[in-house]
Amino acid sequence: MRLQQLADGLLTALAVALAYALRSEFPLIALPELENFTDYIWLLLLAGLLSPVMLAQQGFYEPSLVSRAATIFKIMRGCTYTVLGLVLFLFIVRVQYARSVIILGGTFASFLIYGRHELTQAFVARRPGIREQLQKRVLWIGRGAATAALRKNLTPAEADLINTVADIDPTTGTFEIVALLHTHAVNTVILHLDGLDPIVVHTVVTACDHEGVEMLIHPGVQLSSPFRLSLDHLGGAPVFYYGAQSARPIDLALKQVVDYLGAVLLAVVLSTLFVLCALLVRLSSRGPVIFRSQRAGLNGQPFTMYKFRTMHAGAESAQAALADRNEMDGPVFKIANDPRITPLGRFLRRHSLDELPQLWNVLRGEMSLVGPRPLPIEEINRIAENAQRRRLSVKPGLTCLWQIRGRNEISSFEDWVRLDLEYIDQWSLWLDLKILFATIPVALFGRGGR
């Protein structure tokens, strides 16, 4: 392990040197000229010392039965914390280095360290003596079919770390867990919960806890995304938490803050446009300025959504007569050249100006700046496939991927939902910002709007 840490420290220092070379010799944009390379020697040393420490904090150097994806995440987190630690330390001691070099260095280091890790794994796999020292002495506990299926799906890297000493099926008879741990010098138990008696599970977990034996517990259910599963506490007891999306609670809280601040800023900046649209709607046709509609919010909770009115009075009652002209398959109703829309309403819709009052929904916490567009309650009730209702697992938004990738040019509700689920599964604050900025030209030029 010490050799691995030394190698990763040297690779991190090399990564910072490469970043300096790239930044000084191949500037992509006009940036201030860098100091001499000799001034960066201290930065190389600091990065080389800090990187192995941060990686060790992530458990990167501990032999464990984790997937390649989990290993990559450990490396990314370790290198990210290294970059943040360097920036914070340099700020405290008031020493100036180009932050672009530090950030690039951290990025290069993650690739170099992952390459070193893969080469090390390949080397160990070809040296039986070394491999046996690193292998876990594993006791499998679970129904025969369940553990067999799990073992069949092991990756080569995972299989190389496992030395199976026994495979126990508690449903076929009794067994003495403590004796098995002692007899086989077990240091890892893999427990598959599918079909097991809770008493058996309690006995195994208690024994491993008392004996100091690590455990991997398979929940015994098929999950669409294992990265949404984590351990939490409820009533003082550990529970599995399976999130509706991969976003962490702290990230969602930050998204809420961005929603509030963004809605306030947009309301102030666009206040004149808001008043102008309201006056034009009032003067152009009979009816209220603001149209209120019952929409499905988070988890299907109904809420009142606000829009500038774009249709003639009584338009909702006329929809049934136009049902045969619906151009969208599935539960959604959309037609081109809808006769119920006023001339001004057509302009407002094309440029998404009718959505401005929904900033109030954002401030009320019913909507987000970015999220799947809210559908009327009656359309949600007509959704045939339950999997399509997962779009309700996040707050609806003012704009979304559907808005910037075609809007009304998309005629398949299945494609619409696919974009919404793509957003949910890949969500990040950076994705929200990209969608917000991409919405600006779509709204200005009225792309795909009707």
pLDDT along the chain (450 residues), means of 10: 82 88 66 67 86 85 69 87 86 77 88 87 63 76 90 80 88 86 90 90 91 87 72 79 74 88 92 93 90 91 93 76 73 79 90 93 94 91 80 91 75 84 86 90 73
Nearest CA among 32, 159, 152 for reference residue 100: 32
What is the model's pTM?
0.58
Residue 113, token pair as written in the block: 């360290």
Query: In Å, what is the CA distance from 186 to each residue of 39, 130, 182, 419?
Result: 52, 19, 7, 47
Is the Cα dihedral 384, 390, 393, 394 positive or negative?
negative
Q: Where does residue 29 rank: exposed (0-12), middle (13-18), buried (19+ CB within 10 A)?
A: exposed
- 135-222 CATH, one of 3.40.50.20, 3.40.50.1820, 3.40.50.300, 3.40.50.800: 3.40.50.20
pLDDT at 447: 67
What's the rounded Cα separation, in Å, for the pair 179 and 24? Answer: 64
Residue carrying the six token digits 């954002």: 362
Angle between helices 68-93 and 99-125 (to 10 degrees): 150
Q: Where does residue 399 rank: exposed (0-12), middle (13-18), buried (19+ CB within 10 A)?
A: buried
pLDDT at 30: 46
CB 245, CB 228: distance < 8 Å? yes
CB 369, CB 435: distance < 8 Å? no
CB 110, CB 79: distance < 8 Å? yes
What's the rounded Cα separation, in Å, for the pair 228 and 231? Answer: 10
Query: In Å, what is the CA distance from 280 to each residue of 109, 244, 270, 275, 284?
Result: 58, 42, 15, 9, 6
What's the rounded Cα separation, in Å, for the pair 79 and 430? Answer: 19
What's the rounded Cα separation, in Å, for the pair 414 and 421? Answer: 10
Contacts of 288 (CB under 8 A, 6+ apart): 309
Nearest CA among 319, 297, 294 for reference residue 389: 297
In the chain, which segments carry CATH 3.40.50.20? 135-222
In this structure, which long-range contacts are made by residues 27-32, counting pairs with CB atoms below 8 Å and at least 24 apart in sequence? 31/98, 31/100, 32/98
